[in-house]
């Protein structure tokens, strides 16, 4: 097809992180597919960009993907954005990228801010390899199982979490993985950005005394490696369960 799909990363907080290349693509595209047109509208207004938009969220992905394929047939270019960060990473986008590729549409990714990577880089915990698991489960039982899986991995794990569940998350962590080394990063790239590191018990005490606010990323360090293989049969923790990194 003659059309083209741009997958454009947008700021996760600080508008200065929108790259010149991203700005050019947004200005030159025929249509902007936005997770929330109101949210993206504010971004476009800030940079004096006037382009038609179409909503593209979890409830309209199937319908919109078909519509957008017709635009590509007409030779149009579409810029796909989410509310923040890279489309498709715990946000709508994967379905459209797959449909475009299957239809022979050229897909170009415009890189930019990514909350999991920022949280990982500032955590002070081992960075490579790492696993990204999206949002933690809402139910306590499933969340505890995921925390246990994270601590069993031979790599660092990164998750998103809602401020409304941070205290419950840490209560589960105290019960399930009390020895874990954690970092909770919030409001990344914004004025009140904060990285708080410690044990589940230490972080729970803090956020019980200070109401959690903003968007959170949880970073969980892998357990310390065992001693190198010896005659007694000791072995290091296997590293084949760390798929899922960005």
19 and 103, same domain (yes or no)? yes
SS3 label, residue 14: coil
- Give the model confidence (pLDDT) of 170-193 as tens digits: 999 999 999 999 999 999 999 999
| CA dist list (Å): 108 to 58, 143, 229 | 22, 35, 46
Q: Is residue 233 part of a domain?
A: no
Same-domain check for residues 98 and 142: no
Q: Are 158 and 218 a contacting pair, CB within 8 Å?
A: yes
Domain range for 174 is 115-220
Residue 50 sits in a domain whose CATH number is 3.40.1010.10
Clarify whether residues 139 and 196 are in a common domain: yes
- The string of pLDDT tens digits covering residues 12-29 is 999 999 999 999 999 999
Residue 234 domain flag: no
Last residue of a domain, one of 87, 110, 133: 110
Cα(106)–Cα(77) distance, integer angstroms: 10
Q: Are 26 and 43 in contact (CB under 8 A)?
A: no
Specify whether 46 is located in the same domain as 124: no
pLDDT at 90: 82
Predicted structure pTM score: 0.86
Q: Quick check: is 170 in a domain?
A: yes
DSSP type of residue 242: -
Please indicate, yes or no, whether residues 165 and 102 belong to a single structural domain of this protein: no
Kindly report the CATH number assigned to the domain that includes residue 158: 3.30.950.10
- In this prediction, residues 97-119 reach a mean pLDDT of 95
- Mark which of 49, 80, 110 sits at the end of a domain: 110
Asked if the structure places residue 228 within a domain, the reply is no
- 65 Cβ contact list (under 8 Å, min separation 6): 95, 96, 99
Residue 85 has a pLDDT of 92
Question: Considering the domain boundaries, does residue 231 fall inside one?
Answer: no
Q: What number of other Cβ atoms are within 10 A of residue 197's Cβ?
A: 17
| pLDDT confidence of residue 59 | 77
Q: Do 57 and 63 form a contact (C-beta atoms < 8 A)? A: no
Q: Is 220 helix (H, G, I), strand (E, B) or coil?
A: strand
């Amino acid at each position: 097809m003659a059309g083209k799909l741009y997958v454009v990363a947008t700021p996760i907080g600080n508008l200065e992180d929108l790259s010149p290349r991203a700005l050019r693509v947004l200005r030159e595209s025929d249509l902007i597919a936005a997770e929330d047109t109101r949210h993206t509208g504010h971004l476009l207004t800030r940079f004096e960009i006037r382009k038609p938009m179409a909503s593209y969220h979890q409830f309209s992905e199937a319908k919109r993907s078909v519509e957008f394929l017709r635009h590509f047939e007409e030779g149009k270019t579409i810029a796909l954005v989410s509310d923040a960060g890279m489309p498709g990473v715990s946000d709508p986008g994967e379905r459209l990228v797959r449909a475009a590729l299957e239809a022979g549409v050229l897909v170009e990714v415009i890189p930019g801010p990514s909350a999991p990577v920022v949280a990982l880089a500032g955590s002070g915990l081992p960075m490579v390899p790492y696993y990204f698991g999206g949002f933690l489960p809402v139910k306590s039982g499933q969340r505890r199982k995921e925390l246990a899986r994270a601590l069993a991995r031979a790599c660092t794990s990164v998750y998103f979490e809602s401020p409304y569940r941070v205290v419950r998350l840490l209560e589960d962590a105290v019960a399930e993985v009390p020895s874990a080394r954690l970092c909770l990063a919030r409001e990344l790239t914004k004025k009140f950005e904060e990285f708080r590191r410690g044990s589940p018990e230490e972080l729970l005490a803090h956020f019980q005394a200070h109401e959690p606010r903003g968007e959170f990323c949880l970073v969980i360090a892998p357990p310390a490696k065992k001693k190198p293989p010896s005659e007694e049969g000791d072995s290091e923790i296997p590293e084949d369960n760390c798929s899922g990194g960005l």
